[in-house]
Structure 1
Amino acid sequence: MTRSLVIGGTRFIGRHLVEELLAHGHDVTICNRGNHDNPFAETDEVDHVETDRTERRDLEAAKLAVEPTYVFDMVAYQPGDVATATEVFDDVDGYVYVSSGAAYGAAEIPRREGVTELCDCTDEQATDDSPETYGNRKAEGDRVVAEAAESGVNAYSVRPCIVYGPHDYTERLDYWIERVSTEDRVIVPGDGDNVWHRAYVEDVASAMRIVAASGEPGAAYNVGDRRLVTLREMVELIADVADTDVEVVAAGERELSAAGLSTDDFVLYRDYPHVLATDRLASLGWESTPVREAMARSVTAHRESDRDGSEHDPGREERDAVLDVLDTV
């Protein structure tokens, strides 16, 4: 029996990973502190071990209880967490650390594993927990994985770009789905052609499973949709799968500034393109879900939830003011 231990596992990516592992015959245990609702609490398919992943003795106890074949680390946010985990699980068949496309420090298109420079990480950044040092800490975690592999540990990194799909508590995509679902005209910042590579959550889950079984120790694997879409194309795709019509209206800095806004006030906007090469992962047999299918599932999940992305809304009055400016041009 293949036993998989998922550190985390109850929220977004981890939830899909558990479902992916179950679908492929794994015996799954999740370990966490129990601070979030456990979607698998009512099933006997998934075991749970209450664990504080920052405590080495808790990880050691989880290892003894589960005797895992594979370990998937969803919530290692500081490189020290990764170092401890690679020591505790140094004899498993596969330890997979969830890194991030934010680990890349160089502005290259596309960003490639082993080629594009990673972010530096100072000692102070390594123990920080602010969003500003997220990429630095993830990059240092990648370096810890590589060093562990040199010592014989079957450790791997998976680097997803920004993730979307059902159960996404960040509600980033929900903002755009809500706009398309409730409005006739949807503002996209800039010219609408900006690109921020995204990864469908089920594809991230399958990538982790495949890397654990077939990856090269010490290597990192980017994850992202094999077909990229611009922000404008994403909005149009949402409208298509939602079977509704919207007018996509591009607004530059001049029009936005009239309402006190900027392009950065719109979620999923990124000025410089962020694109990850995914050939290394594809060489293991991984395939991404067609983007239209992934978006259709995301729209369905949005409709079945109470998420509306309102926390990302720059403001209805502000958006109306921008449209008024555009209508007078």
Structure 2
Amino acid sequence: MDDALVIGGTRFIGRHLVAELLEADYDVTLLNRGTRENPFDADERVSHVEGDRTNDSALESAAMTVDPDAVFDCVAYHPKDVRAATRIFDDCEAYVYVSSGAAYGREEIPKREGETPLEACTADQAVDETGATYGNRKAEGDRAVFAAAENGVRAMSVRPPIVYGPHDYTERLDWWIDRVDRFDRVLVPGDGTNVRHRVYVEDVASALRIVAERGDAGEAYNVGDRRLVTLAEMVDLVADQLDAAVDVVTAGPRELEAGEIELDDYPLYRAYPHVLSTAKLAALGWESTPLETAMERTVADHRESDRDGGDNGPDREAEERVLGILDTF
């Protein structure tokens, strides 16, 4: 495969995917509305087709104009979009849909492709725009991929959990980096052993390329850091990269009440461990970036940006009230 069409491609996962594809000597075309700055504008290997991916006519025009070998769908948030793309690009060598670990519908450790059930999706959920139905819609998109494969399309799915790394506009990890950078005491919800699978963005990009090149039609592939760390260990990783000495202070629901904080107010916290098996992807030859390297790049990008994640978690004044209560114990 030589020519790739990336639907999206300028913000986060798509941006790193384009860099990955260029490194692998692909010629790349971006399909998006052109409303955001294009970081590849000066690169002659990257073309741009303007269009709204929710408009089937825009996809059909791109299919005729670009005739790509591989299509990477980074911004399909409704099942109808996946069904349209797999129909319009049915003759390409690979269609890869960016799904989500949120598509899984049962809590078990770890969650495995083809074994752990997916979320159900009603007709109303399929067209909903709220975050409450995100997992349902992603699961139905997966089912659209499987149906397309049964009809002869080489369609596949990649399921990441929480993605972090340079250019992360969600700023979830930025909130923690900012805390470690500014304070010598960092409050961690629960007992610090909370486990929520995360994945470095460059590893998602390499997974998408590898699945396009080596994956099997109709299959889904989990992608995630091969080494998992607890929330407290993640804070320590950040501190190591910032060369900062921090005291991790844990607080349960009763202690957090002093600041009118709940456990779920903290970014990257999840009550039940969320772990994805990545063995199936690793069998294709995919490898995970060492956590220290991933965090080093993430922290360096944070420091060069103006992101602080301020909207993602409790304010420091509320946390100070909690710390004050803990100091009296």
TM-score bracket, shorter-length normalisation: over 0.9
Number of the residue aligned with 2:73: 73
Are residue 62 (structure 1) and residue 62 (structure 2) matched? yes
Number of the residue aligned with 1:148: 148
User: Secondary structure, in 3 states, of the residue corresponding to 1:187?
Assistant: strand
CA apart distance, 1:55: 1.3
Number of the residue aligned with 2:89: 89
User: Secondary structure, in 3 states, of the residue corresponding to 1:20?
Assistant: helix
Number of the residue aligned with 1:19: 19
Q: Supply the AA of the counterpart residue of 1:138.
A: K
CA apart distance, 1:259: 1.3
Cα separation, 1, equivalents of 2:238 and 2:169: 19
Are residue 124 (structure 1) and residue 124 (structure 2) matched? yes
Deviations 1:130-158 (A, max 9, x none): 10000000000000100110110000000
TM-score normalised according to structure 2 size:
0.99
CA apart distance, 1:43: 2.4
Deviations 1:227-281 (A, max 9, x none): 0000000000110121110000001111101111111111111110000000000
Q: Supply the AA of the counterpart residue of 2:227.
A: R
Number of the residue aligned with 1:224: 224
Cα separation, 1, equivalents of 2:264 and 2:274: 15
Number of the residue aligned with 1:107: 107
Cα separation, 1, equivalents of 2:42 and 2:245: 40
User: Secondary structure, in 3 states, of the residue corresponding to 2:72?
Assistant: strand
Q: Supply the AA of the counterpart residue of 2:310.
A: S
Cα separation, 1, equivalents of 2:105 and 2:203: 24
Cα separation, 2, equivalents of 1:265 and 1:98: 27
Number of the residue aligned with 1:317: 317
Q: Which moved more, 1:157-166 or 1:31-40?
A: 31-40
Cα separation, 2, equivalents of 1:144 and 1:313: 35
User: Secondary structure, in 3 states, of the residue corresponding to 1:258?
Assistant: helix
Cα separation, 1, equivalents of 2:312 and 2:59: 36
TM-score normalised according to structure 1 size:
0.99
Q: Supply the AA of the counterpart residue of 2:243.
A: D
Cα separation, 1, equivalents of 2:183 and 2:289: 28
Cα separation, 2, equivalents of 1:281 and 1:250: 35
Cα separation, 2, equivalents of 1:310 and 1:43: 34
Cα separation, 2, equivalents of 1:178 and 1:315: 12
Cα separation, 2, equivalents of 1:2 and 1:259: 55
Cα separation, 2, equivalents of 1:165 and 1:103: 22
Cα separation, 2, equivalents of 1:266 and 1:52: 34
Cα separation, 1, equivalents of 2:313 and 2:285: 39
User: Secondary structure, in 3 states, of the residue corresponding to 1:53?
Assistant: coil
Are residue 178 (structure 1) and residue 183 (structure 2) matched? no
Cα separation, 2, equivalents of 1:140 and 1:36: 28
Cα separation, 1, equivalents of 2:183 and 2:276: 32
Number of the residue aligned with 1:188: 188
Cα separation, 2, equivalents of 1:313 and 1:83: 36
CA apart distance, 1:313: 3.1
Q: Supply the AA of the counterpart residue of 1:284.
A: L
Number of the residue aligned with 1:203: 203
Q: Supply the AA of the counterpart residue of 1:122.
A: T
User: Secondary structure, in 3 states, of the residue corresponding to 2:259?
Assistant: coil
Matches within 5 A, 1:221-260: 221-260=221-260
Cα separation, 2, equivalents of 1:320 and 1:57: 54
How many residue pairs get aligned? The number is 329
CA apart distance, 1:57: 1.4
Q: Supply the AA of the counterpart residue of 1:124.
A: D
CA apart distance, 1:98: 0.4
Number of the residue aligned with 1:158: 158
User: Secondary structure, in 3 states, of the residue corresponding to 2:243?
Assistant: coil
Identity %: 64
Number of the residue aligned with 2:98: 98
Cα separation, 2, equivalents of 1:258 and 1:173: 24
Number of the residue aligned with 1:137: 137
CA apart distance, 1:45: 2.4
Q: Supply the AA of the counterpart residue of 2:119.
A: C
CA apart distance, 1:194: 0.4
Are residue 29 (structure 1) and residue 29 (structure 2) matched? yes
User: Secondary structure, in 3 states, of the residue corresponding to 1:312?
Assistant: coil
Cα separation, 2, equivalents of 1:127 and 1:153: 24
Cα separation, 2, equivalents of 1:245 and 1:311: 25
- Consecutive unaligned residues of structure 2, counting only runs of 5 or more, are none
Q: Supply the AA of the counterpart residue of 2:108.
A: E
CA apart distance, 1:64: 1.1
User: Secondary structure, in 3 states, of the residue corresponding to 1:30?
Assistant: strand
Cα separation, 1, equivalents of 2:5 and 2:143: 22
Q: Supply the AA of the counterpart residue of 1:2.
A: D
Superposition RMSD in Å: 0.7
In the TM superposition, structure 1's runs of 4+ consecutive aligned residues that sit over 3 Å from their partners are none
User: Secondary structure, in 3 states, of the residue corresponding to 1:310?
Assistant: coil
CA apart distance, 1:195: 0.5
